[in-house]
Structure 1
Amino acid sequence: MDRMFTAIATKIASAAGQPLTFIVAVLLIVGWALSGPVFGYSDTWQLVVNTATTVVTFLMVFLIQNSQNRDGAAMQAKLDELLRAIREARGQFIGIEHLTDHQIERIRAALENEANHEAGKEATADDTVERLLSRR
Structure 2
Amino acid sequence: MNDLFRKLAQKTSRVTGSPTGFIIAILFVLIWAASGPLFNFSNTWQLVINTGTTILTFLMVFLIQNTQNRDAHAINLKLDEIIRSSGPARDEFIDIEDGTDEKLAMLTHEFNELRKTINEGIIAPVTQEEKA
Contiguous gaps of at least 5 residues in structure 2 = 126-132
Contiguous gaps of at least 5 residues in structure 1 = 122-136
Q: What is residue 128 of structure 1 aligned with on the other side?
A: none
Once the two structures are superposed, the pairs formed by residues 68-87 of structure 1 within 5 Å of their partners are 68-87=68-87
Corresponding letter in the other structure for 1:76? N
Residue 39, structure 1, aligned to residue 39, structure 2: yes
Q: What is residue 19 of structure 2 aligned with on the other side?
A: 19
Q: What is residue 120 of structure 1 aligned with on the other side?
A: 124
Q: CA deviation at 1:79?
A: 0.4
- Deviating above 4 A after TM superposition, structure 1's stretches of 4 or more consecutive aligned residues are none
* CA–CA distance in structure 2, aligned partners of residues 100 and 31 of structure 1: 51
Q: CA deviation at 1:103?
A: 3.4
Q: CA deviation at 1:102?
A: 4.6
Question: Secondary structure in 1 aligned to 2:56?
Answer: helix
Q: What is residue 67 of structure 1 aligned with on the other side?
A: 67
Question: Secondary structure in 2 aligned to 1:24?
Answer: helix
Instruction: Give the aligned CA root-mean-square deviation in angstroms.
Output: 1.5
* CA–CA distance in structure 1, aligned partners of residues 29 and 79 of structure 2: 43
TM-score (norm 2): 0.84
TM-score (norm 1): 0.82
Query: Which of 1 and 2 has higher RCO (CA within 8 Å, sep 6+)?
Result: 2
Task: Decide which moves more: 110-119 or 36-45.
Answer: 110-119
Corresponding letter in the other structure for 2:19? P
Question: Secondary structure in 2 aligned to 1:38?
Answer: helix
Corresponding letter in the other structure for 1:11? K
Corresponding letter in the other structure for 1:85? S
Question: Secondary structure in 1 aligned to 2:83?
Answer: helix
Corresponding letter in the other structure for 1:51? T
Corresponding letter in the other structure for 2:16? A
